[in-house]
Structures are given as structure tokens and as C-alpha cells.
């Protein structure tokens, strides 16, 4: 059943401006405005927005989501390449986060054993 923009936003717990933003980005189509009344969005649009939001939750950018939507009718191999690229980026980010975790742990150890209240090892490490 088709819904108005406000009902779509309410169903998906998003802002109306989010729906409009997706329209401007070309991620969803804006329904034609009838002579009388409001535009009505088909159920396919609601499903598409759910897909967009879920993809974003998984860390895909809107550009990547647009690529995924464009690949919907493409061979699985193209989708797989995009997913492999995203996986590589996630692994790289995880490595960066592990290095940051290790550095922060070392700084916290220095901080805990610091007896000089006039300086902080964490602040010292951030200065050039």
C-alpha cells in the first residue's frame, strides 16, 4: 500500500528530510504529485530505503550504496568485487584501530605510573 512521505518517515523512524535527501541523491524516485493531495510512495520505495539504511549501518557510504543499488540487476561477480573492496577497507581500518588501542594502552600505563603532576604523558605524546 502506498504511503505519504510522513508515513514513510514514521514507518522507518527517519526524518522526512532524509527521504527528500535520498530523492535528491537519486537513490529513490520521487513519486509524481497528483493534481489533488499528496505524493504516495510505493512499498518498493520503503523497502529500498530500508536497504539503504541497513547498508549504511554496515558501514557502506551513500556512494557505495548507490553502486549496490545499480548492481542489483548485475552479475553477482560485480557485487562480490565491491564487497571484497569494502572488506579490505574494513580490515585496514581494524588494523589501524588495533594499533591505536595498543598506543593508548601504553600511554595509559605511562600515565598511571607518572608521579610528575606538572605534565601528562598523553598530552606530551600529542605535541610535536
Question: Which of 72 and 105 is assigned the larger pLDDT?
Answer: 105
Q: How far apart are CA 98 and CA 95, in angstroms?
A: 5
Residue with cell 514507518: 11
Give 91-112 pLDDT, tens digit per residue: 999 999 999 999 999 989 988 8
Q: Is residue 75 pLDDT above 90, yes or no?
A: no
- Cα separation, 37 vs 46, whole angstroms: 20
- Look at the chain and count its residues: 128
Q: What pLDDT does 7 receive?
A: 95
Which CATH number fits the domain 1-60, given the four candidates 3.40.50.300, 1.10.1660.10, 1.10.760.10, 3.40.50.2000? 1.10.1660.10
- Residue 60 carries which DSSP code? -
For residue range 39-70, what is the model confidence (pLDDT) as tens digits? 999 999 999 999 999 999 988 899 989 988 88
Q: HSE of 93 in the Cβ direction (CA atoms, 13 Å)?
A: 7
Domain locations in the chain as residue ranges: 1-60, 74-115
CA distances for 99 relative to 96, 102, 104, angstroms: 5, 5, 9
The pTM of the full predicted model, rounded to 2 decimals, is 0.67
What are 2's three cell numbers?
A: 502506498
CA dihedral 104, 110, 114, 116 (to 10 degrees): -80
Amino acid at each position: 500500500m502506498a504511503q505519504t512521505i510522513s508515513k514513510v518517515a514514521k514507518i522507518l523512524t527517519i526524518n522526512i528530510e532524509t527521504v527528500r535527501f535520498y530523492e535528491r541523491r537519486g537513490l529513490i524516485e520521487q513519486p509524481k504529485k497528483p493534481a489533488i493531495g499528496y505524493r504516495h510512495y510505493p512499498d518498493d520505495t520503503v523497502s529500498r530505503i530500508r536497504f539503504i539504511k541497513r547498508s549504511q549501518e554496515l558501514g557502506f557510504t551513500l556512494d557505495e550504496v548507490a553502486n549496490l543499488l545499480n548492481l542489483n540487476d548485475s552479475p553477482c561477480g560485480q557485487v562480490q568485487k565491491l564487497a571484497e573492496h569494502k572488506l579490505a577497507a574494513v580490515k585496514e581500518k581494524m588494523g589501524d584501530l588495533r594499533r591505536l588501542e595498543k598506543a593508548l594502552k601504553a600511554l595509559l600505563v605511562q600515565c598511571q605510573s607518572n608521579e610528575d603532576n606538572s605534565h601528562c604523558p598523553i598530552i606530551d605524546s600529542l605535541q610535536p
